[in-house]
Every structure is written in C-alpha cells, then in structure tokens.
Amino acid sequence: MARIYGSSIEKAPLNGGIIGVGNAVSKGGGCITGFTSSGNFCSSSTTRMVETFFIGGGGGGASNTFAGRGGGGGGLAKRNVVVDASTQYPIVVGGGGAASPSAPPAAYGANGVDGVNTTGFGVIGNSAQSAAAVGSPGYGAAIGNLPYVRGTGNGGGAGAGGNGAPGTCNCGGDGGAGAPSTFSGSDVNYGGGGGAGSNNENDHRASGTDGGSPGATRSANSGSSTANRGGGGGGFRSGFFCGSYRASSAGSSGIAFVKELDIATGRWPISAQFRGKKAGIWT
C-alpha cells in the first residue's frame, strides 16, 4: 500500500517511543525509473519512499469558425510517497487527446478530446482539457496545472508551468510553458501547451511550447506534439474567408518518473535508529 508523504504511517509504541508521528526510513539509492507506457514499478528491499514526477496526456487542439485554440499541456503531479519494500505498483501513462474535427460544419466550435491521466501510488498527473469552443479561451489541465488553467481570446493552451499567450483570429497565441525536470538525465520541460490556429496572410504560426504542437496557418496544418512530453495539440485554421481548411492536431502522451529516495522522516527513538543501522537502511 502506498501512502502520500505526510499522512500517518504508523504510531510509535507507547513504551518509550515517539507517539503520534509517522516515521519512515528509505535507502533507495536515488534510482530513477522512467515509464513512457504503462507498466509496473517494483520497489527495492530497502526503499520506503519515492518521489514521483507524473505528466498527464495533452489535450487535442480545437476548431472554430475562424481559428481554434491550442490544447492544454498535461498536468504535473510531483509528490513524495511512502511505499512498502519489494512491492509492485502499477503505473498508468496517460495518452494524448484526439484533435477536433477538421471539416465543416462539424469543425465549427468543436473541441478536441481531453488527454488521459497518468497515475500510480494513488497520485494523479491530471490530463489536459482540450481547447474550448467559440468565444472561449483555450484551456490547460483541470487540476494539475493550477493556477495555469486558461489563456485568453484565441490563445494557446496552458502548460504545466505557465499560461498560454493571448491571440486573435489572425494571429493565434503561443502555448504555455511546461514544467522542468532532470529525471531523464538531461534538462527537459514537459506538459507544454499547443499553439492556436492563425489566419494571418503572412502565415504567422503560433508556437507550441515544451512538447506542444504549433498551430495551423493558411498554408499548413498544425504540427505534431512530441510523444511522452504531455504536449497540447495545435489549433485549427478555418478556410471560411479564403484558402483551405487546416487541421488541428492531437495532444501527446504523458510520462512517469519514479525516484527511490534516501531519506528519514520524523523523530526516532535510539532503539529504532540502531535497528535501521543494523538492517542497512538508516541514512
């Protein structure tokens, strides 16, 4: 059974122990396991606490009468969780949401599809909402990206680390920034928002950010969001006045990282410290 750090684990004994505080000691060695698809995490025999970095799937880009908003980037869940030793835990990596319809009349005011949550240990990296319909701003993730929940106007989708930029039907807004992580072994930002579609005659193209897709232009469909970055899809461009309809794009799948920690929490009696040292799990 996994417990979010800060909840009660067990009570110390009344005969000389510290009463009421949950204690955990973990010697995980800092090992990091990454999941680009769903699988199982098995804790080591000395691991009692892990750190999660979960990104949900990005939302699909939207359509509109003129130009559609970008999809939101996948939400972030970064938590410390108490786990049992030598125990298997299922990890579910959320998929990206599908793009909105790209041909009239179904395309007018149509949302893309929400992404899917990334989950494990009772922790949820909330998936991103797709961009909203006519007259409404683009959306980011429902909970995981708070307070970054929506852009303005023909805006880009919010990311896990920032709001999408505002825009107009001629020049759509860029997607919002993602959240940084070094768990992959290098500096990478995850959960960026998708760019909105644009009708600009100079082929202005709104940027997707940190895995999000760029928006559609007069001459090109929206681009592709980056797999396992939780990026939002790019917004649609209408051919209502001139030119061809240009399709929105889907959001991308999320990702999960689990780091096994070296840590001791709470206050410990000397006898417990001695037992932990003898067992090789006291840090």
| CA gap 244, 76 in Å, rounded | 36
The distance in angstroms from the start CA to the end CA of the chain is 23
Residue 66's CB is within 10 A of a number of other CB atoms, namely 21
The pLDDT of residue 267? 59
pLDDT digits (tens, 9 = 90+) for 201-216: 777 888 888 999 999 9
pTM: 0.80
Q: What is the mean pLDDT of the chain?
A: 77
The pLDDT of residue 142? 36
Q: Please give the C-alpha separations between residue 13 and each of 23, 49, 267, in angstroms, as whole numbers.
A: 12, 22, 13
Q: What are phi and psi of 271, to 5 degrees?
A: -60, -40
Q: Please give the C-alpha separations between residue 42 and each of 48, 52, 79, 81, 118, in angstroms, as whole numbers.
A: 12, 14, 18, 14, 17
| CA gap 69, 184 in Å, rounded | 30
Q: Which whole number is the average pLDDT over 224-252?
A: 85
Q: Of 48-57, 62-71, 103-112, 117-126, which gets the smallest average pLDDT?
A: 103-112
| CA gap 198, 105 in Å, rounded | 19
Q: By the 8 A CB rule, do 94 and 76 touch?
A: no
